Structure 1
Amino acid sequence: MIVHPELRILVITAAPGEGTTTWQPVTDGMDHVHVEAETETPADLRGYQAVVTVDASVSNIDSTRLLTFVEGGGTWLALAAGQTQPLPEEFGVQPGPIGPVTELRVLFTERDNPLGARLPDAVYVGGTYQPLQVHSDDTETVLYVDYHYQHSSVLTRRSHGGGHLACTTLQDFSPSLVQRGLYRLLRQCQGLAPPPERSLGIGILGYAPSVGRLHGIGAEHTQGLHLVAACDLDPQRLHQARTDFPAVATYTDAAEMAADQAVDLVIIATAPNSHAPLSIEMLQAGKHVLCEKPLALSQAETQAMHEAALTHQKHLSCHQNRRWDPDFLAVRKVVADKQIGELFYLETFVGGFHHPCGYWHSHAPVSGGTSYDWGAHYLDWIVGLLPHSIEAVVGTRHKRVWHDVTNADQERIQIRFSDGREAEFIHSDIAALRKPKWYLLGTGGGIIGHWQDFSAVSFDPLYYYAKDDIPATEMMPEITLHRRIGEGQIEPTQLLLPQRDPFAFHANLADHLLWGEPLAAPLADSMKVVAILEAAAKSMSGGGRPERIDGG
């Protein structure tokens, strides 16, 4: 896999354990970032690139030693929230008076600051208002808050010797602008930031009318990505690619596109049975690879893909864009916040009573089977919500109505986790009555998500009006949270869903490739999804016998 530059951080705090907990939201999920905590300043700081202090005024902080560390090229970030004692004058700032507890709007001072690439323009954070008072002209205000119609500094940076001194009075590091801004600041101070003009060239292998254009639009709307090439065997599809993106180079041979030096990352958007060989070919050619879902059709294939990525130190991941679906985000937040207690049972469903499509999606030797289509998304949701070791998988299928296609009419996958939790996914093309899209049970409540049917009505001069049904899969379900309150009473609350960000997946991809920030859908999860699908297919062929997954 791609190797990101290491960043070694020491957190110094008077309270044991507080340092890593305070800093965890900033560096969580990044294997190349190593965080250690000490209760006092070590005599030898040579193993670290950055030191973070919690309240730099306390006696356990050796300012002289830390300033020497900075002069030698290190970075010292002081978390000064609530601090009343002065910082060393070399910081160029001092913590100001402590104000009221309130909600504050945080922004970058420079709108085009490279640290803010693909981050929100502004976020609201809670906490105590405490400005940083700047005393030196060469001190840079990185972040500020609006307060009484004035800009108040809350994150600053100043060069000192060969290194940097930074300070913040913010307390809530959970918003992405704050946590990623701090992480990127440390990388930038250490000379590990990507050049601001760096942009990765994207090549699309398999320009399907919908998927290819989607990735092209995503690349063109994402800072740090740009579309440069498309490859397909069909001349009409290549013509469409040039129509959609006039500057794109087109190829009919994958090897020719792989030889294009302008292509940094190849998006594999072909049929699932070709994902593994094409991904490996592109990795061997020195390209990063993003593969459409499912990642492949078997564990043997995903393992070979993973090994190729490791060997060539290139990125490999799967296009799990539905990790940003508003209903999943809402459900995940409720589960993460323990609003239903401990999640122990989960059902998901997709389908209706419709004839399967006439494309390769309905031909099992190419697609993998019924569950490999929508199931790749729904099982990814299950893996994201229940990241536990799997004990067994059971699959069943029905072939009763649609005999002109090779996919089953209905498939059910049941997952039993090693700690007793359970999950189920059903895809049915013969369901006259749909089950809820979401059904979750926890030790303190539950969640249910009902499908919603919508039609778009437009004026038609011939027929007066025209009505088009919108696929239920593209409409957000109505989700209700049910919590037990009092003595056995159940309180229902309809959840408000967040706004959909159509380019969130591509932004996350760019953040990972350029900054080393964590993927929302890591490769391990996509490999686990394929393992579940393969085990379920074996179980279906064996009459529904339980199947185990290597490695859980």
Structure 2
Amino acid sequence: MKTLGVGIIGLGIGRAHAAAFAANRHCELRVLCDFSAEKLQEAATAFPAARLTDDARSVLDDPAVDIVVVASHDDDHHRQVVAALEGGKHVLAEKPLCLHEAEARDIYAMLAKHPGLRLTSNLSLRTCPRFAVVRDRVRSGSMGQLYSMDGEYLWGRKHKLTNGWRTDMPFYSIIHGAAVHMVDLIMWIRGDRPVEVHAWGNRICTQDSALRANDFAVLTMRFDDGCIARVAANGGCVHPHFHALTVFGTDMTFRHTPGGAEWVMRRNGEEEAVPCTEAYPAREERPLLVDSFVQAIVAPGSPMLVGEADVFDVMSVCYAAEESMRTGRATTIRYFD
């Protein structure tokens, strides 16, 4: 079986992707790209067999590269993803896939022209065992009918908003960069898509910085069965990095907080809290996303943990949320299918 050559653009989060691909028996790191000499030097030590470059185009044009990881700045994603697909390469795009709906439609059309190519995105909360068991209970019906869900992305890394490339972008979205994780998690747990979203935001935490975008956003999503889900992206908070989640069903509640996680249920007419002990954040499980992507390439028909439809669905919600913030009105979500 042919070894898949991998090229990575951006060695921030891309450094973790490099390690995951290097550990996969079907893959070989061929090219690593970043404009930081320091990151390239570190990569040379960690992955000595890979070619190093500061030119993203040389990754996209390299015939030895079968898979491109786009982990560059958000406003470069559209151009690089399209170029990779045009070149016949599979793509793992760091979230967000791209910044604007029109750009996503370009990518969607390009995939339609190349049906043999696969695309995924780093929606990594799906790899967490704690959230997987919540999904299993919801899908089994043991929680009863869901009527409310709350997710909050507590970034706790204000310096990343106020110092660096996000301040230089004409358009940065805390929804696309942070809320996207919790939106995807809620959709994955439920197994369906919201029909409408209403969103608000502010930039109070970073008002004295060069950042021109909101650092906080809250989304309210409505599902066809009446369930309401709320997601907050809290970029400027004074708080450890955390993904808070509460799921309310008619028969059971799940709470995942910095103090721990538990199931709350009624037994003999009284509420009882039972600890949830599955692992979180379980970063060691995150290569599962890469492994399922590679398996879908080498064995067509194999399921991906994050498939193309999943990527376009979650971005559709995010684009509608940004539209809602601009108009001040609830927005019907336009999906790609």
> What is the TM-score when the length of structure 2 is the normalising length?
0.88
1:297 equivalent to 2:99? Answer: yes
Match of 1:241 in 2: 43
Alpha-carbon distance in 1 for matches of 2:221, 2:140: 24
Give the corresponding residue for 1:537.
322
SS in 1 for 2:195: strand
Say whether residues 1:508 and 2:310 are aligned partners: no
2:186 is the counterpart of 1:382: yes
Determine the C-alpha separation between the residues in 2 that align with 1:254 and 1:333.
41
Q: By how many angstroms is 1:436 displaced?
A: 8.2
Match for residue 398 of structure 1 among 192, 202, 211 = 202
What are structure 2's unaligned runs of at least 5 residues?
Answer: none
In structure 2, what is the Cα distance between the partners aligned to 1:235 and 1:355?
25
Partner of 2:65: helix, strand, or coil?
Answer: coil
Residue 229 of structure 1 corresponds to which residue in structure 2? 31
**1:519 counterpart (288, 304, 308):** 304
* Matched residue, 1:370: 174
**Equivalence for 1:410:** 216
Q: Which has the higher helix share?
A: 2
Deviation at 1:214, TM superposition (A): 0.9
Quick check: 1:440–1:446 contact (8 Å CA) kept in 2? yes
CA distance in 1, matches of 2:243, 2:61: 48
Task: Tell me the equivalent position of 1:344.
Answer: 147
Q: Which residue of structure 2 lines up, in the alignment, with residue 258 of structure 1?
A: 60
Asked whether 1:548 is paired with 2:332, we answer yes
1:425 deviation in Å? 0.6
8 Å CA contact 1:393–1:416 kept in 2: the answer is yes
Distance 1:493 1:258 in 2: 50
One-letter identity of the residue aligned with 1:259: D
SS at match of 2:35: coil
Distance 1:363 1:414 in 2: 29
Per-residue displacement from partner, 1:9-46 (whole Å, max 9, x unpaired)? Answer: xxxxxxxxxxxxxxxxxxxxxxxxxxxxxxxxxxxxxx
Residues 364, 370 of structure 1: 8 Å contact kept:
no
2:332 is paired with a residue whose SS is coil
CA drift of 1:390 comes to: 2.6
Q: Is structure 2 residue 263 aligned with structure 1 residue 481?
A: yes
CA distance in 2, matches of 1:304, 1:265: 19
Report the equivalent of 1:89: none
Maintained 8 Å contact 1:362/1:370? no
Q: Is the 8 A contact 1:291 1:316 kept in 2?
A: yes
The answer to whether structure 1 residue 312 and structure 2 residue 93 are counterparts is no
Q: Which residue of 2 aligns with 1:82?
A: none
Paired residue type of 1:479: A
- CA distance in structure 2 between the aligned counterparts of 1:273 and 1:481, rounded to whole angstroms: 41
Structure 2 counterparts to residues 100-111 of structure 1, below 5 A:
none
Deviations 1:73-99 (A, max 9, x none): xxxxxxxxxxxxxxxxxxxxxxxxxxx
- SS in structure 2 at match of 1:427: strand
Greater RCO between the two (CA within 8 Å, min separation 6)? 2
The answer to whether the 8 Å contact 1:324/1:505 transfers is yes
> Secondary structure of the equivalent of 1:262?
coil
2:10 corresponds to 1:206: yes
Aligned equivalents of 2:42 and 2:146: distance in 1? 46
Q: Which amino acid is 2:216 matched to?
A: Q
Where 1:418 maps in the other structure, the secondary structure is coil
SS at match of 1:290: strand
Counterpart-to-counterpart distance in 2, 1:524 and 1:375: 18
Q: Which moved more, 1:275-284 or 1:294-303?
A: 294-303
**Aligned-pair Cα RMSD in Å:** 2.4
Query: Partner residue of 2:255?
Result: 448
Q: State how far apart, in whole Å, the 2-side matches of 1:421 and 1:526 are.
A: 22
**Shift, 1:247, TM fit:** 0.7
Partner SS for 1:412: strand
Q: Against the structure 1 CA distance between its residues 346 and 364, is the aligned structure 2 distance closer, same or farther, given a 3 Å change threshold?
A: farther
When you count strand as a share of all residues, which structure comes out higher? 1
Structure 1 alignment gaps of length 5 or more: 1-194, 453-477
Deviations 1:271-302 (A, max 9, x none): 11111111001111111111111111122212
Question: Contact conserved, 1:364 with 1:407, CA < 8 A, in 2?
Answer: no
Tell which structure's C-alpha radius of gyration is larger: 1
Deviation by residue 1:484-542 (Cα, 9 ceiling, x = unmatched): 233x3222111120465242122111211111210111121221221111211121122
SS of 1:437 mapped into structure 2:
strand
Q: What is the one-letter code of the residue matched to 1:200?
A: L
Q: What secondary structure sits across from 1:407 in the alignment?
A: coil
Q: What displacement does 1:429 show?
A: 4.3
- For residues 226-261 of structure 1, give each alpha carbon's deviation from its aligned partner in whole angstroms, at most 9, with x where no partner exists: 211112334443333222211101233333323322
The answer to whether residue 127 in structure 2 is matched with residue 324 in structure 1 is: yes
Q: 2:73 aligns with which of 264, 271, 289?
A: 271
Q: 1:231 to 1:399 in 2, by over 3 A?
A: closer
After superposition, where does 1:106-145 map in structure 2 within 5 Å? none
Specify the code of the residue in structure 2 equivalent to 1:390: P
Residue 491 of structure 1 is matched in structure 2 by 272
User: Which residue number in structure 1 is paired with residue 233 of structure 2?
Assistant: 427
Contact 2:120–2:293 under 8 Å retained in 1: no
For the structure 1 residues 261 and 336, does the alpha-carbon distance in structure 2 shift closer, same or farther, using more than 3 Å as the test?
A: same
Conserved 8 A contact 1:306-1:316: no
Cα distance in 1 for partners of 2:190, 2:319 equals: 19
Counterpart contact for 1:213–1:244, Cα < 8 Å: no
1:272–1:355: structure 2 CA closer, same or farther, 3 Å change rule? closer
